[in-house]
Structure 1
């Protein structure tokens, strides 16, 4: 990671800003193990639902519908941004210096991807764009010595082909719309709007808990219990929350190295949720080629 991305890290109280800019190419094979681990839970769930072998041979029925390689290009790019967000979270230092861990990614809760794999396995012509997954892009947790969840991080990750100021403004503040007086205004339905309305205990925590109950109920028994206490309706125990926004994409033509697209010195005034906030910007060169090479290689040759 250090050879691939140049790091500029700033922290001001409850606000952190991390700028990561590509300084050299990376071999997709170096990222493959992390991406395979991130997608394995959903791959097992989707393949099982569709009646596919986990690692089908090329001539097996439905082998063309392997998750996540079978997904449309737009969906791949969104998944890449979310997995990269997790990789950055576990690799770099954020404000607060918590030891973040992501026991499992939440991709199995992408209902439209599940339907897509099921139909595509039975009819190769059923290729289409996907509806996005609702809820948190991913959840990371911080555990104490007893395995209890003492803080969680809720991440919002977005990939854009070109990280221009206009694209970032749209991400954060929503699309342009008529203002009723012949002009244009932002809809206000962007990332800041979503974060400011988030629940103290979002449904991503329940999704994480349900997967942990299935995959490792003994290893994460204390974490599962602490999430139960946070998710009950009567007298919940509040688990402190940190918010994370990560935007990633290709550098715009006019990008100047070391220049951020979101405020680096202080939290944006548009963020009013009041939680510690970490912002990450990942600026790549020819990231689309990297994504395609990486996703084409996942579980290849097994």
Structure 2
């Protein structure tokens, strides 16, 4: 069974992160999660099962595709193993996407709408360049390179009705930045700066997170990908969920409501004050024009790079 079946470690999260939550205008929520205790071995031990559960489907999928056994008889774990052997930049992207699921499941009471969210399975297998990278690395371990990002929905979770049909989906963008400066976050939200030929000034090109959310389809592509994974792994237990997604996609049943999620993770900037936010919480950002419920999450860490490296090195490692 490769479904995601690990609950979030809420007690460890409460010790690690201080939560500042707010919901404004009934359809906009902002949650700041600020590290308040050092990263310790006990925290890594608490996070490890959740991260292994999040990556389990993709791990088994990629290893099967490229012919690497996960359980070699009498041998050590393979050196080429997903996700441990991926480049550092790729691991940071994966960390951000797992954090989207972790935060959604652990802090759903703080989220706009107060919906009950479930992540049945993560979509990490939908990353063609990872498979190509692992295939090449299997035959030439020296062939290390960066990995192109995964296209499509960064993250998706569902809320079910009384008959286990999907009544709402949460989807959106999950990003990691080494240092959460105002400039770095502005680039994420509004796109990189380019020179305006008319004025000669540097201006954001508008191709950031807000544009992606504003242009996305009401039914996110990730929901269809999730449906197919449910069909493959456990169709009987999820029959009503699968059918409701299929009917919505084919226009034969009601479309689920949608909540958009923006989660930005990274290390605090040097001059940051406690409880400072980089995305204002008082009202829905003007650049967000999709008109759906919007949840923003800022996760502000200390020495986050060391945490990510240690966490991913620990996965499927008894030591």
Name the TM-score, length of structure 2 as normaliser.
0.91
Equivalent residue in structure 2 for 1:74, among 89, 92, 108: 89
Q: Does 1:102 align with 2:114?
A: no
Q: Deviations over 1:196-248 (max 9, x none)?
A: 0010112111111111100110111111001001111x556321000000000
1:269 and 1:171 mapped to 2: Cα distance? 15
Distance 1:57 1:78 in 2: 32
Q: Deviations over 1:75-94 (max 9, x none)?
A: 00000011011100000021
- SS of 2:114's equivalent in the other structure is coil
Match 2:49 to one of 26, 33, 40: 33
C-alpha contact 1:212 1:220 (8 A) present in aligned 2: yes
C-alpha change, 1:162 and 1:237, in structure 2 (3 Å) is same
Query: 1:79-98 residue pairs with structure 2 within 5 A?
Result: 79-92=94-107, 93=109, 94-98=111-115
Q: 1:56 and 1:82 mapped to 2: Cα distance?
A: 29
Please tell me whether residue 301 in structure 1 is matched to residue 318 in structure 2. yes
Do structure 1's residue 23 and structure 2's residue 40 form an aligned pair? no
Give the equivalent residue in structure 2 for 1:254.
Answer: 271
Deviation at 1:155, TM superposition (A): 2.5
Please tell me whether the aligned partners of residues 70 and 78 of structure 2 are also in contact (alpha carbons under 8 angstroms).
no
Match of 1:14 among 27, 32, 48: 27
SS at match of 1:79: helix
Q: Cα 1:147–1:176, aligned 2, differ >3 Å: closer, same or farther?
A: same
1:287, 1:58 → 2: CA distance?
35
Q: What secondary structure does 1:274 align onto?
A: coil
Secondary structure of 1:140's aligned partner: strand
Between the aligned partners of 1:196 and 1:222, the Cα distance in structure 2 is 30
Q: Which runs of 5+ in 1 are unaligned?
A: none
1:175 equivalenced with 2:173 (yes/no): no
Structure 2: stretches of 5+ with no match in the other structure:
1-12
Select 1:51's aligned residue among 29, 50, 67: 67
User: Offset at 1:265?
Assistant: 1.2
Per-residue displacement from partner, 1:42-100 (whole Å, max 9, x unpaired)?
A: 0010000011112447956x922100001000000000011011100000021111110
Contact 2:258 2:292 in 1 (8 A): yes
Q: Is the 8 A contact 1:42 1:107 kept in 2?
A: yes
Correspondent of 2:224 among 197, 206, 218: 206
Q: Aligned partners of 1:163, 1:18: CA distance in 2, in Å?
A: 15
Classify 1:121/1:262 alpha carbon distance in 2 versus 1 (closer, same or farther; 3 Å): same
Per-residue deviation, residues 121-160 of structure 1 (Å, max 9, x unmatched): 1210121100000011111000112110010000310000
The Cα of 1:183 is off from its aligned counterpart by: 2.1
8 A Cα contact 2:172 2:213, kept in partner: no
1:146 partnered with 2:146: no
1:121 aligns with 2:138: yes
Contact persistence 2:189–2:208 (CA under 8 A)? yes
- The SS at the match of 1:209 is helix
